[in-house]
Structure 1
């Protein structure tokens, strides 16, 4: 028998969607998610689901009144970006777009050593996708970060 600590080894994001069933279908198609659990409230809304994506768990629920967990489409914003390391960021980016995601940032090699992209899923959540292409030491990472900062325009006060 596995313990909760084995299944939920660290922080586990729980996200709300205006249509959790559609969100689950998207995550299955775009990221190959396995649906482990789905529980419905008496009115049919999904009050709990567990997905396994690349060995990490994601909890997806429908919006319910009475708490502060809202879908980004209802809030017209999001405060969380979910990050997913994948074997081939370009392939996953294209698969997500084909499944209905919108591109935010096309795949590109970034100073921190990842090929990196960002999509907004049909429910409004942001996902950053990455494939490591260059393993950096902390010192190497800091050097590249400083060099990158020098290329950026000044920020207004």
Structure 2
């Protein structure tokens, strides 16, 4: 697909509990994401793979498929997705209104950004930063 990146690193999120479509809807509302591809599994219920653009980057996701791995996916941990944006306060507020939990309120940081963190309803952590004006 032409909208999919051909190089670089693309995060691929696994969404537990058959909530893949809900996650797509959330990322659209919370981060202004644009769904560019969406494929449903043969069972017609689970999201096999989807891709969306967020702030110029690309994120892929799917529902979990324990039958392919032999076990359920572990809870998301140890990874934070970072969004470098024009206004961290506005982006964080929009994410919170869409259902994210603010885990670190946006504040001025020593490295020159306004920076904060949220956790989405699916357990994935996001940091949001913008240059101090």
* Alignment TM-score, normalising by the size of structure 1: 0.75
**C-alpha contact (below 8 Å) 1:15/1:69 kept by paired residues:** no
Deviation of 1:88 after TM superposition, in Å, equals: 0.7
Which sections of structure 2, spanning at least 5 residues, go unmatched?
A: none
Which sections of structure 1, spanning at least 5 residues, go unmatched?
A: 135-157
Deviation of 1:126 after TM superposition, in Å, equals: 0.2
Residue in 1 aligned with 2:108? 109
**C-alpha contact (below 8 Å) 2:3/2:36 kept by paired residues:** no
Residue in 1 aligned with 2:61? 60
Deviation of 1:76 after TM superposition, in Å, equals: 4.1
Residue in 2 aligned with 1:130? 129
Q: Give 4+ residue runs of structure 1 displaced > 4 Å after superposition.
A: 1-4
Residue in 1 aligned with 2:32? 32
RMSD in angstroms over aligned alpha carbons? 2.1
Deviation of 1:55 after TM superposition, in Å, equals: 1.0
- For 2:49 and 2:61, locate their aligned partners in 1 and report how far apart those are by CA, in whole Å: 6
What per-residue deviation string (whole Å, max 9, x for no partner) do you get for residues 93-142 of structure 1? 111110000010000011111110000000010000000227xxxxxxxx
Structure number with higher strand proportion = 2
Change (3 A) 1:61 1:77: closer
- For 1:16 and 1:129, locate their aligned partners in 2 and report how far apart those are by CA, in whole Å: 21
Which structure: larger Rg? 1
Q: Which has the higher contact order (CA 8 A, sep 6+)?
A: 2
Residue in 2 aligned with 1:146? none
Residue in 2 aligned with 1:20? 20
What per-residue deviation string (whole Å, max 9, x for no partner) do you get for residues 56-112 of structure 1? 100010001133783xxxx34512110001111101111111000001000001111
Change (3 A) 1:103 1:2: closer
